[in-house]
Structure 1
Amino acid sequence: MEIQQDMTISEKLKILTDAAKYDVACTSSGVDRNNKGKGMGDAHACGICHTFASDGRCVSLLKILYTNECIYDCKYCINRKSNDVKRASFTPDEVCKLTMEFYRRNYIEGLFLSSGILKSPDFTMGLIYETLWKLRNEHHFFGYIHVKAIPGASPEIIEKIGFLADRMSTNLELPTKESLKALAPNKNQKNILAPMRQIQAGSGNLIAPVNDGYSLITRRGNKMKSKFVPAGQSTQMIIGATPETDYQLMSVTEYMYKEYKMKRVFYSAFVNVNHNIDAPAPVGPNPLLREHRLYQADWLLRYYGFMVNELLNEKRPNFNVVLDPKCDWAVNHLERFPVEIMRADYYTLLRVPGIGVKSAKRITSARRYNNLNFESLKKMGVVLKRAAYFITCNGKTMFPLNMNQDFIARSLADTDKRQTYAIEQDTTYKQMTLMDMGVRVNG
């Protein structure tokens, strides 16, 4: 371990932004808050800007680690204690300075703050609490703040931070106890799930004193100025480091959404940065493509009314790498198609490939007043190169349909070849990071 002394804030920023790139947080804020002319920044439900890391991952906000020093030795983590990497730690004042200066320059609209574990979970979370308290109370920052909760931290410190942050997240890391024990022996599911349950249950069991930066909270539910984690919580799983199937991963995801009311579950394709894990053969030709399929399935769970056991099962435990999960489901359930656009209910329309949430709502609204045709469907956002195989419009098809499973599957796969190739070759669109922009911070 190489601990750097007397580093400038810019040197720390370079180390600690790079160290944070494996924490996925591509989210809008999910909360509205106006500073009412009394402070700096606002938080808007859909107003958080996004940027992309150098490896193509979408990241939001000023995304940094408080420190990359860590007392744990997780095999998959670049910041594990046994690695010989440059170490750096911010101070609370330095994080405040970075956040405020970047906000004033319009580089960011908020802060994503994670951390390695310095001395102990409570010690580290105490430093993060001090940082957030200063941002909110001394700098009057009203922008969006997303904070990682450290497993093993006391409920009291989680409670205090929850009134200062908009969103909190606790990384599930790996989907099973066995995998966690093998790759992260210092962590256990009990400590990971405890802050999740606390955040899910909300506040009310503790007294939050006024001089800690938020209003007095009582069990009687008196009116309070600050809400407890108003934008909810999220989590992240590493995929590909251990042998879980897509079915197992999505079953854990479904459980997280139902039992812990997660706003998002993120998936991070395993990168063997330490070259010390004999990872199982990845599902499909590319781990990034597998990650992509998991995100597509996650969307189906959250917005399209699908259940995991409709998409996968023990006999068919992994997603088709050639077809996206929705198209794959439709091809395997041709007995349900074609559906008539003028009569199908909203949830039936959502199951048609090429019809999304917005276009399904537009269809159900517009057809009350007019007969729809394929041209009007295209204007509503329906992707006809997919949907045409599964719909009729006023009893007519767009072209003579061949309801042969192999034919439709090949036709749909051809339409996705360009996107699949881009993911496999890692040639997807990339946006400059703050470092690419040549950001300089005095200090």
Structure 2
Amino acid sequence: MSFERVREKLNILADAAKYDVSCSSSGSIRTNKNKGLGNSSGMGICHSYTEDGRCVSLLKILLTNYCIFDCAYCVTRKSNDIKRAAFKIQEVVDLTINFYRRNYIEGLFLSSGIFKNPDFTMERLVAVAKKLRLEENFNGYIHLKSIPGASDELMFEAGLYADRLSVNIEIPTISGLKLLAPDKKHEDFTKPMLKVKNEIVRYKSERKIIKNTPKYAPAGQSTQMIIGATGESDKDIMYSATHYYKNYNMKRVYYSGYVPVAEDSRLPSIGSQVPMLRENRLYQTDWLLRFYGFDIREILNNSTPNLDIDIDPKLGWALRNLNHFPVDINTADKRMLARIPGVGMQSVNRILKARKFRRLDREHLKRMGVALNRAKYFMVCGAKNWETKDLQPETIKGLILQSSQGKFRNKYSSQLSLFN
């Protein structure tokens, strides 16, 4: 097949893959061996991002954009009038190797529409990874998108050659999935997730006894939810994410704002794209749950079903729970230090180390990277009185927003002055 035809396929299938944001490559260490090609670093290899924050550093493509399903939210659904293409297995292998040798990429993210049936498609995805590992001796990062409904045998084989596997749950709730993708079943997503989880656990246990046991999906598994295609609240979304973290040992759950691709009475109208800021707030909440010790019920519940777009979720929680403040920087435990708005986990660890040697004041905190424009309303350090004790939550929120806007204006003005 001509180079021009392969390039045309690449344009079509790389463009179709841009809606999948779950292509992080961190968490896997695969060292080079037998003078092979490439390696996968534990630090992650996603270095390049588009202007809207989506990672594009891997060779990120679909095997095909043909699909037997007609999911309303998907650009590749069978009823959509788009140009179709499909790679041969060897074409994907050759593209990956050639791009790697030219230093364009450091790994492969391979997804696919579903043609014929899930097993037929999954078998071809596995064949690509298998050829790269065994025939090309490729030790770089490989992320395979698992096909909902694929057999346990194929899911098992996929984990032997891929660093990470993922099954996109697509819609956060079962009711939303039934509405927009009636041909799909919820268990088609959860069954392969459970298989991968169990195999990872089994292989880790075996490696403790037999050191040369091969690694199975060493970077774990992830999933992605489309946000804003149906009417789920932030509470619905994050409770669902918490379920997958807890029950399927997910490494990451990704949140992708719905991009209107066609007129459909079941979907938001074209032009009503989900704001990136909502995605950002969901990721911040996800971060609080995984690294800051928050319980999802503290942040989102029946009285607070949606996040405040104006402020980050930790500040939102603090304003609703002023009875927990002020926190004394010099005596508080790690858990409460991490709950002060404007104090990140790096700063928390610096505070815990530094206060062993002296009492800390605001100047010390500033040097540690604490955002005092927010933190000062929720802490004390050396002062006898809490200077903001009489302020109401809405007043504090207004002052913080005013301060943040002022900082943005000052930064913008200083940038403009460079060109005067």
TM above 0.5, yes or no, is yes
C-alpha deviations, 1:102-126, integer Å up to 9, x for none?
2222222211111101211111111
The answer on whether the counterparts of 1:204 and 1:219 sit within 8 Å (CA) in structure 2 is no
SS of structure 2 residue aligned to 1:8 = helix
Q: Which runs of 5+ in 2 are unaligned?
A: 410-420
Q: Is the 8 A contact 2:100 2:106 kept in 1?
A: yes
1:223-234 paired onto structure 2 within 5 Å: 223-234=211-222
Instruction: Encode CA deviations 1:251-302: one digit per residue, 9 max, x unaligned.
Output: 11111111111111111111110222443699x9953222111111111111
Q: Which residue of 2 aligns with 1:265?
A: 253
Once the two structures are TM-superposed, the CA of residue 221 in structure 1 deviates from its matched residue by 6.4
SS state of the match for residue 254, structure 1?
helix
Q: What's the offset of the Cα at 1:389?
A: 1.1
Q: Which residue of 1 aligns with 2:296?
A: 308
Distance 1:312 1:38 in 2: 51
In the other structure, the counterpart of 1:157 is 154
Which residue in the other structure is 1:125 paired with? 122
- Mapped to 1, the partners of 2:69 and 2:407 lie a distance apart of 38
Secondary structure class of the residue paired with 1:58: coil
Matches within 5 A, 1:24-63: 24-36=21-33, 38-53=35-50, 56-63=53-60
333-342 or 36-45, which deviates more? 36-45
Alpha-carbon spacing, 1:277–1:5, altered in 2? closer, same or farther (3 Å)? farther
- Secondary structure of 2:374's aligned partner: helix
What's the counterpart of residue 177 of structure 2? 180
- 2:417 aligns to what? none
Counterparts in 2 of 1:402 and 1:149: CA distance versus 1, 3 Å? same
Tell me the distance in 1 between the aligned counterparts of 2:312 and 2:269.
21
- Tell me which residue corresponds to 1:297: 285
Is the Cα contact below 8 Å between 1:163 and 1:229 reproduced in 2? Answer: yes
Name the structure where helix makes up a greater proportion of residues: 2
Cα separation, partners in 2 of 1:277 and 1:170, compared to 1, 3 Å: farther
The one of 92, 95, 98 equivalent to 1:98 is 95
Report the CA distance between 1:5 and its aligned residue: 10
Asked if the contact 2:23/2:109 (under 8 Å) is kept, the reply is no
How many Å separate the matches in 2 of 1:186 and 1:54?
Answer: 35
Residue equivalent to 2:391: 403
User: Partner residue of 2:238?
Assistant: 250
- Aligned residues of 2:257 and 2:273 also touching (Cα < 8 A): no
1:332 corresponds in structure 2 to 320
Q: TM-score, normalised by structure 1?
A: 0.85
The Cα shift of 1:60 comes to: 4.4
CA root-mean-square deviation: 2.9
Partner SS state of residue 82, structure 1: coil
Question: Post-superposition, which runs of at least 4 consecutive aligned residues in structure 1 deviate over 6 A?
Answer: 217-221, 418-421
> What is the identity, as a one-letter code, of the residue corresponding to 2:234?
D
Q: Is the 8 A contact 1:340 1:393 kept in 2?
A: yes
**What is the TM-score of this pair, normalised by structure 2?**
0.90
Deviation at 1:158, TM superposition (A): 0.6
Q: Distance in 2 between matches of 1:398 and 1:100?
A: 61
Supply the distance in 1 between the matched residues of 2:264 and 2:330 (Cα, whole angstroms). Answer: 57
Asked if 1:235 corresponds to 2:223, the answer is yes
Distance 1:419 1:147 in 2: 43
Q: Percent identity over the alignment? A: 50
Does the 8 Å contact 1:334/1:403 carry over to 2? no
Structure 2 counterpart of 1:197, which letter? L
Give the aligned partner of residue 81 of structure 1.
78
> Are 1:175 and 1:237, in contact at CA under 8 Å, matched by a contact in 2?
yes
Change (3 A) 1:147 1:340: same
Residue 204 (structure 1) shift: 8.6
How far, CA to CA, are the matches of 1:224 and 1:279 in structure 2? Answer: 51
Identify the range of structure 1 (7-16 vs 157-166) with the bigger mean alpha-carbon deviation: 7-16
Contact 2:263–2:269 (Cα < 8 Å) also in 1: no
Q: CA deviation at 1:138?
A: 1.1
Tell me, yes or no, if the aligned pair for 2:28 and 2:44 is still in contact at 8 Å.
no
**What's 2:17 paired with?**
20
Give the number of equivalent residue pairs: 407
Q: Is the 8 A contact 1:243 1:280 kept in 2?
A: no
Shift of 1:94: 1.4
Say if 1:205 and 1:37 are closer, same or farther in 2 by CA, change over 3 A.
closer
